Amino acid sequence: MKRDSVADLDVTGGQQRAAWQRRDAPPVERLRTDLWSIPVPMPDNPLRYVLVYALAGDSGLTLIDAGWDDDVAWTALVDGLATFGATPEDVRGVLVTHMHIDHVGLARRLHETSGAWVALHPADAEGLADPDYRIRERAAKADRRWFRSLGASTEQADALIAAMGPHDTRSSQALADRLIEHKQSIRLPGWTVTAIHTPGHTPGHLCFYDEESRAMFGGDHLLPRITPNISAYRDPESDALGDFLQSLDDVSQLEVSEVLPAHEWRYRKVAVRVEQLKKHHEARLSEVLEAVRRHGSTVPWELAAELTWSRPWESYDGLLQIAAIGETAAHLGHLRRRGLVSVTDESTPRYRAL
């Protein structure tokens, strides 16, 4: 993740931004008569909170995202709902922007409490259900293969698996009981929103567009300050960055009055943000291409340590390193699509400039 200038965006989440600067949690906010934003804390994470949106109608609530899966987060969500007289029993469904645990995490408890349906794009629903994701031993095996394909030695791959620690909550995450496709119009109590498939951060990332107010629930696709991690997750053949850039273009076709993101703060001027994000990745593509030229032939594992990151490479722990190496691989994969680098040895792809 990389920080960008927010000076050019029109910040509407003023209280959220002020709380961020104080290193504090923002308040629950009523954004319209039928819409609330509830910050749900994330443990030991620099993003600090995920913003859960509660959409109200006569026959109950729909949430956009659910929050991290632990007791502190659950209490914050329950308390947040209580500020406007609601309880988890009122939740009819959860629209999940993407499969990451800070977004889908509490969906399981909501489903168990009220029977709420859980909806995702098919690609992320499949990702959540994949035994190579849910079952710890299988996930470790798949990750080891992935790290080796990125150029890690066996020892480096094993060290990283150990550093990643247990991810026991994965096996208990909710499974989707509804699937949402691109451009699907979703009728909710009191609301109709349109799903916009915005792959990149994950293959099945969704934004939700309210045609009436033209507000965009942006998930992690359109954060105001940081660029979301774009990773060639376990698949060197994928073009996650190409997908992300296309998703940015798709969003900029829409008239968006305000972005309601899943982290940080609300803002206007989405077109400015889209341009900033594209510029960031073009600069990074140039930097990666230059580095490949210097090496003659290289692998993401080697290259990532030489690139510019928001903090010194040495200070990155295992998880941040793998995010950065995955991101480097995504840039290499996209340079390959653009015909600027070629690959030798498909099992551990080595990249060389053309």
Contact between 326 and 232 under an 8 Å Cβ cutoff? The reply is yes
What SS3 class is residue 216? Answer: strand
Output the smallest distance, CB 27 to Zn ion, in A.
20
Which residues contact Zn ion by CB under 5 A?
A: 102, 220
Per DSSP, which regions of 200-303 are E strands? 206-210, 215-219, 258-261, 267-268
Closest distance between Zn ion and the C-beta of residue 350, in Å?
33
Neighbouring residues of 210: CB distance < 8 A, sequence distance ≥ 6: 191, 192, 193, 216, 217
Task: Supply 249's token pair.
Answer: 């273009």
In the complex with Zn ion, which residue's Cβ is closer, 220 or 258? 220
Q: Supply the minimum distance, in Å, between the C-beta of residue 174 and Zn ion.
A: 16
Strand order in the sheet with 49-57: 29-32, 35-41, 49-57, 60-64, 91-95, 117-120, 178-179
Q: Which is nearer to Zn ion, 50 or 116 (CB)?
A: 50
Q: How far is the CB of 209 from Zn ion (least distance, A)?
A: 19
Query: Do the beta carbons of residue 64 and residue 52 sit within 8 Å?
Result: yes
The residue (of 102 and 239) whose beta carbon lies closer to Zn ion is 102
Among residues 76, 78, 98, 94, the alpha carbon closest in space to that of 86 is found at 78
Smallest gap from Cβ 67 to Zn ion, in A, equals 10
Which of these, 320, 347, 333, 345, lies nearest to 146 by C-alpha position?
A: 347
Half-sphere exposure of 346 (CA within 13 A, CB side): 3
Residue closer to Zn ion, measured from CB, 222 or 289: 222
Nearest CB to Zn ion, comparing residues 151 and 219: 219
| Beta carbon nearer to Zn ion, 220 or 264 | 220
Angle at 227 between CA 171 and CA 321, to 5 degrees: 60
User: Which residue, 82, 105, 80, 83, is CA-closest to 94?
Assistant: 105
Residue (68 or 147) nearer to Zn ion, CB: 68
Cβ closest to Zn ion, residue 210 vs residue 220: 220
Closest distance of CB 45 from Zn ion, Å: 9
CB of 201 to Zn ion, least distance (A): 8
How large is the angle between the packed helices 136-149 and 154-164, nearest 10 degrees?
Answer: 140
Q: How far is the CB of 245 from Zn ion (least distance, A)?
A: 20
